[in-house]
Amino acid sequence: MHQMRNLNEIWLASEVLALQGKFKEAASNYVKNNMLDKAITLLTQLKKFQEANDLIKKHGKKGGDQALLDPLILIKQAEFERDSDNWKEAADLYI
């Protein structure tokens, strides 16, 4: 039970940081406390796709010599570029 309380406190502290606009600190707090998925979700929602991919490269699962990128992030980024009428950038992400 004590472990769950700590995780809830860490999550809440990170959420408060994000609400205060301290996104980098919030993501860092998530990563530091083994909540990489929460940090990735936060950055993806903020359209900070490169930062999300950088976190995955640094802290994510490894496949051979490289970190495995999350295809969902690339799809969301491509959709964002498409919706922003950046057709070439969107197409490049699908390739």
Task: Quote the CA–CA distance of 20 and 16 in Å, as a whole number.
Answer: 6
What is the pLDDT tens value at each position of the chain, 95 positions in all? 445 567 778 888 998 999 999 999 999 999 998 888 889 889 988 999 889 888 888 887 654 444 455 677 777 878 888 888 888 887 877 66
C-alpha distances (whole Å) from 44 to each of 9, 15, 51, 64 are: 23, 15, 9, 25
What CATH number labels 2-94?
Answer: 1.25.40
Q: Considering the entire predicted model, what is its pTM?
A: 0.67
Do residues 23 and 15 lie in contact, with contact meaning Cβ atoms separated by under 8 Å?
Answer: no
Looking at the DSSP bridge assignments, the partners of residue 67 are: 62
